[in-house]
Amino acid sequence: MARLSNTKLKPQKKADLRVVQTPNIKTTKYSDINLNRWKDYAHVITNSLWLFPARLKEHGHSNEYHGNYIPQIAQQMYERYTKKNDIVLDMFFGSGTSGIEAINMNRRCIGVELKQDLVDSVSQKFTPKQLVTDVNIICSDSTSKDAVEKVQARLEIMGEEKAQFLMLHPPYDDIIKFSDKKEDLSNCATTEEFYDMFEKVAKNGYDLLEKGRFACLIIGDSYKNSEVQPLGFECMNRMRKLGFKLKSTIVKDINGNERAKGRTANLWRYRALAGGFSIFNHEYIFVFQK
């Protein structure tokens, strides 16, 4: 597997999107996995419980940013639901995990990020050439028409009308404040407002995604006002309402996801025992098809 190569990727021919069936090769329209050699793909996870002992911290990845999802998710999603040179659209680009792994796996990526300082910082992870040919980072509000227009312009430059995969990893409501901007989903006044703003982002993503292709939503729940806020299932339902078909509901262990926040296990155990709740050790990965 190529890792952060500076080599310019060749434009994909439309014929590559057709199902290939020869005596030796059989693939789907959305993946390069050879179904005639399916036993060779033991590393591709097909069950609904994902356990990873630690986050990858190599091949361009780091853990300096709160809320970045682990690279293993991108690896699994890209191999199973994309082809080489496909374009991944990430509407919450953050620290760039989607783009880094796109380069590593010979895909391309368009990322939308609200904060200009983060765009500037993350851009340093890519070469000037990669930022022209393979990874485009747009500073915009993902709920807006402006973001859609900018993504459409980048798609045209990259030779496509639509993206081939959609990645959504929104803030988990107001658990972590990512900025002071009112457009930031982590600053919503209520959880209901968070749902509504997320739906706007998902609608933009739906419109920018090629028909028949896949989307991934990574999200966990929150605990507020002495009860669980089921962020995962409500956001999943909002996407279904938009027309996405739910293909998989995956539960992933979150231990080791993020850097330490100064919260000890004993303190949270005490709070759980005193408050009658359970400590979140999981998040959801929902897979959809347009």
Work out the mean pLDDT of the chain and round it to a whole number.
Answer: 87
Tens of pLDDT, residue by residue over 177-231, are 778 888 888 889 999 999 999 999 999 999 999 999 999 999 999 888 888 899 9
3-state secondary structure of 259: coil
* Residues 23-47, mean pLDDT to the nearest whole number: 94
Instruction: Return the half-sphere exposure (C-beta side, CA atoms, 13 A cut-off) of residue 98.
Output: 29
pLDDT of residue 176: 78
pLDDT value of residue 89: 98
Fold entry, domain 30-39+69-289 = Rossmann fold (3.40.50)
Q: For residue 131, what are its two tokens? A: 């930022």
Q: How far apart are CA 219 and CA 222, in angstroms?
A: 10
pLDDT of 174 reads 80
CA dist 143 and 158 (Å) reads 23
| Range of weakest confidence among 28-42, 86-100, 263-277 | 263-277
Query: Which residues does 209 contact at the CB level (< 8 Å), separation at least 6?
Result: 89, 162, 163, 164, 165, 166, 215, 290
Q: Please identify which residue in the block is written with the tokens 């995956």.
A: 250
- Indicate whether 257 pLDDT > 70: no
pLDDT of residue 224: 87
- pLDDT beyond 50 at 170: yes
Residue 140 backbone dihedrals phi, psi, to 5 degrees: -165, 165
| Closest C-alpha to 194, from 225, 232, 226 | 232
d(CA 70, CA 253): 11
Checking if the pLDDT of 3 tops 80, the result is no
Query: Which 8-state DSSP code applies to residue 10?
Result: P
Phi and psi at 206, nearest 5°, equal: -60, -45
Q: Whose CA is closest to 160, among 4, 16, 2?
A: 16
Amino acid identity, position 86: D
Residue type present at position 48: S
**Amino acid type, 227:** E
The C-alpha atoms of residue 104 and residue 202 are separated, in whole angstroms, by 26
Residue pair 154/161 in contact by the 8 Å Cβ criterion: no
Torsion of CA 66, 113, 29, 8, to 10 degrees: -100
pLDDT digits (tens, 9 = 90+) for 39-84: 999 999 999 999 987 766 655 555 555 556 999 999 999 999 999 9
Question: Coil, helix or strand for 227?
Answer: strand
Give the pLDDT of residue 84. 97
pLDDT band at 271 (very low <50, low <70, confident <90, very high): confident
Residues of the chain above pLDDT 70, percent: 83
> d(Cα 221, Cα 125) in Å, to the nearest integer?
30
